[in-house]
Each structure stands twice: as C-alpha cells, then as structure tokens.
Amino acid sequence: MVGTLPVGSEGGGLGPLFSRRHPEPVLLGRETKHDHLVQEFDRMAEIYQVYVQPFSGPIFEEGLEAMTPYLQPDSRVMDAGCGPGRELQRVARLLPMGEVVGVDLAPGMVITAHESARAHGLDNCAFFQADVGDLSKAFRGRFDLVYSCLAHHHYPDPEAATASVLGCLRPGGVYCVIDPGPAWFNAMSAPLSRLADPGWVGFHTPDEFCELFLGTGFTRAAWLELLPGFGLAVGQAPT
C-alpha cells in the first residue's frame, strides 16, 4: 500500500435523489470538445461488454471488495465512466436504500446502460451524459462515493476530472479509481494501449495517483494493489 487510507463515515448515506427525479437517461444535446475521444465507444455501446467483460470483470470484483467498507445500504454513488453499466448494476444491488448515478460522455453508452438496468429490474439508477472533467453543478456535494473502473486513463485532463469529482463529494466522501498503476506494468502496456485502446491518454503510478489526489484537495490518498498490474487509488474529501 502507498499513502493513507480514508476513514469510514459514522453517519448514514445520502439516499436516493437522481433516480427519482430522472427515470429516463439525460443527454447533453450538444457537442463537447472531447466527443472525438468517445466516438469508438459510442459505436460499440451495445456489444462493448462482450469484449471487455472477461478482462474487466475480475478486476472490478477485486475493486468492489476494497470499496465495500465505504458503502452503506443508503449510499448515493456515482459511476464516472459507466460504459454499458454492468459494474454499476453490481453496485446498485448493494444499495437497496440508495442509488447509483451512471455518467458517461458517449451517449450510446448512457442509453445502453439505462436500458440494461431497467431490463434487469433496477430502478435505483439514473444515467447522464457528461464529461467527468465538467460535471453538472446539480451534482455538487451530492455523493457519498464516486468510483471509476478502467476509465481514468481515458481522461484527457486528469487534474480537471479529479477536481470535478471532488466537487461532487459530500464532506468526507470517497473517490475510488480502479486502474493500472505499477510503473513496470504501465511501461509494458502503454505501447499496446496507445494502439489498441480507443481514447487512451495515459496511466498513473501509485505515487502519481496520491500526488494527483492530494494536489487537487483531497485530505487522504492511498493506492492498494488488487491484482498484478492493477490497483485501487482512493482519496477522501475534506470533512
């Protein structure tokens, strides 16, 4: 482990809000400066999960176990870069009195995630098209926990995205990032990712994650190894 882990909250979660106000997916209806980074994801929205699940599934399971101490049955959670929403559904089932809000810049992913959640009988979810680096003011201070799974290395401005997430957390809220980390793995996989991973921008090492979080305003930051090459970067908002 690198850094200092967040401490758990003694109070309850914030409960459902957005899933009650927005039963249908909310799309931007306008172009953004980063749309070109998600064009491939948008085209693949309906079949994307088939390709990535064998790889991403085991990684997320390890990450979810590490995040569980920061979740309560009534937590309000954001999935930043939710894709087609499989991981979001796993979290939503742990929050019978809470909710998960899925955010993705690719409108096809937002629609696919919404339809899949409803098809699986989940109504404690809401879905928004948004750039993680420019999240809605309506989200400010509204979440107990924000997480992303294998999405952080697609953020064109990691500092802006981290600051944007921090603004969405309640005092003492937690941000969890599941992503590659060790320098040896990053150096080995970066050339392939640059060629084969649409929208890939770059990886962070454990120390770089902690520096990013603390430099953005988080008061605690740590990195935990999950599987060889992958880990959980976690930060806690000021109380």
pLDDT surpassing 90 at residue 20: yes
What is the per-residue pLDDT across 219-237, written as a single tens digit (0 to 9) for each?
999 999 999 999 999 999 9
| pLDDT of res. 33 | 78
* Banded pLDDT at 196 (limits 50, 70, 90): low
pLDDT surpassing 90 at residue 29: no
* Exposed/middle/buried for residue 29 (C-beta within 10 Å: 0-12, 13-18, 19+): exposed
pLDDT surpassing 70 at residue 18: yes
| pLDDT of res. 200 | 74
pLDDT surpassing 70 at residue 23: yes
Question: What average pLDDT is seen over the chain?
Answer: 91
Answer for the pair 16, 76: CB distance below 8 angstroms, yes or no.
Answer: yes
| pLDDT of res. 52 | 62
Choose between 135 and 8: higher pLDDT: 135
What angle is formed at CA 209 by the lines to CA 229 and CA 202, rounded to 5 degrees? 65
Least confident range from 80-94, 158-172, 189-203: namely: 189-203
What is the per-residue pLDDT across 49-81, written as a single tens digit (0 to 9) for each?
655 665 678 899 999 999 999 999 999 999 999
